[in-house]
Amino acid sequence: MIRTRQLTKRYGSNAVLRGVDLDAAAGEFVVVLGQSGAGKSTLLRCMNRLATADSGELQIDGIDAMQYGDTRALRRKVAMIFQHHHVVPRLTALKNVLTGRLGSVSVLGSCLHLFRRQDIALAHDCLARVGLAHKAHERTDALSGGQMQRVGIARALAQRPRVILADEPVASLDPHTARTVLQYLREASRALGITVVCNLHQVDYAREFGDRIVGLAQGRVVFDGRPDALTAADIDRIYLQPVDSASTGRAQPAAPVALSTALGV
């Protein structure tokens, strides 16, 4: 479903991705771990063409995304869930979810927000999948943060995507709400066969929800395996890599205590 080979991306003199190889199968929930600046967000942005990789191979659902000219068609296959909800507060939950169908309606229909009956039925189904059927006609500014993020998931599902890219989707949520959001996302991906690539910082969430974990450090893959294969040494490789002096002008001293020790793993 997703295949990258030696994917690279630079911003000026800063090499953010340095030859990333990654595979994600249909229906697989892949968690990407890494410290801030490791390249996690840039990797997702390259996958949906919000950013353009400098070199390497990138295939999404059999499409060569490096050469594919129809970005709009590609993005219909690839939905995004961001750290912040990006919902429209004055719209109801249902209408927010229906915006996920805008890429599949006519220009006039999208301007006037005219949706077919089957689109409305689909939006209701997507809200039901994230446990918000009873909130369909409430304005989203009346919902909690966790509920807003679940509306974001429902909106992504309404695209009928082959892939969902989730960039730190639970970073601003409390642990209980975060687990609820990730549970709904994982259940939807398994039920619908959607591939999910989810950036996280929390090792425990990665182990709990990921089918596979990919660890990034300095723009390179330093771990790729099942959650039960992730060791304390792997965690230290992911999170204790010093900042590259070539891209920042100075080196960052190593932490005095291993992260895995601090986490008790």
- Tens of pLDDT, residue by residue over 79-92, are 999 887 788 999 99
Q: What is the pLDDT of residues 13-51, one digit of tens each?
A: 999 999 999 999 999 999 999 998 899 999 999 998 889
Q: Which of 254, 239, 222, 215 is nearest to 40 (CA)?
A: 215
Alpha-carbon distances, residue 233 vs 23, 72, 123, 229 (angstroms): 23, 42, 44, 11
Alpha-carbon distances, residue 254 vs 172, 221, 233, 244, 245 (angstroms): 28, 20, 15, 12, 13
Please compute the mean of the pLDDT values over residues 64-68 and round it to a whole number. 80
pLDDT of residue 11: 93
The residue with greater pLDDT, 62 or 142, is 142
- Name the pLDDT band for 71 (thresholds 50, 70, 90): confident
- Name the pLDDT band for 74 (thresholds 50, 70, 90): confident
CB 161 within 8 A of CB 79: yes
Tokens of 131: 């446990």
Reduced to 3 states (helix: H, G, I; strand: E, B; else coil), residue 229 is helix
Please compute the mean of the pLDDT values over residues 65-94 and round it to a whole number. 83
Q: What is the pLDDT of residues 204-235, one digit of tens each?
A: 999 999 999 999 999 999 999 999 999 999 99
Task: Please tell me the pTM assigned to this model.
Answer: 0.84
Instruction: Give CA–CA dist 160/126, Å, rounded.
Output: 10
Least confident of 166-170, 178-182, 259-263: 259-263
- Name the pLDDT band for 240 (thresholds 50, 70, 90): confident
Does CATH number 3.40.50.300 belong to domain 2-263? Answer: yes
Stated as kind and residue range, the H or E segment containing 76 is: helix 71-77
pLDDT of residue 112: 54
What are 217's strand-pairing partners? 220
- pLDDT over threshold 80, residue 72: no
DSSP 240: -
pLDDT of residue 146: 92
Provide, rounded to the nearest whole percent, the portion of the chain with pLDDT above 70.
Answer: 85
Q: What is the pLDDT of residues 98-144, one digit of tens each?
A: 988 876 654 445 455 667 889 999 999 999 999 999 999 999 999 99
CB 85 within 8 A of CB 151: yes
Please compute the mean of the pLDDT values over residues 241-261 and round it to a whole number. 46
Alpha-carbon distances, residue 59 vs 4, 154, 261 (angstroms): 6, 25, 38
DSSP 160: -
Least confident of 123-137, 147-161, 188-202, 240-254: 240-254
- pLDDT over threshold 50, residue 62: yes
Total Cβ atoms within 10 A of residue 103: 16
What torsion, rounded to 10 degrees, do the Cα atoms 8, 10, 14, 18 define?
A: 0
- Could you identify the residue written with the tokens 């002096």? 245
- pLDDT over threshold 50, residue 251: no
Instruction: Give CA–CA dist 9/26, Å, rounded.
Output: 25
Cβ contacts of 120 within 8 Å, gap of 6 or more: 94, 98
- pLDDT over threshold 70, residue 258: no
pLDDT of residue 182: 95
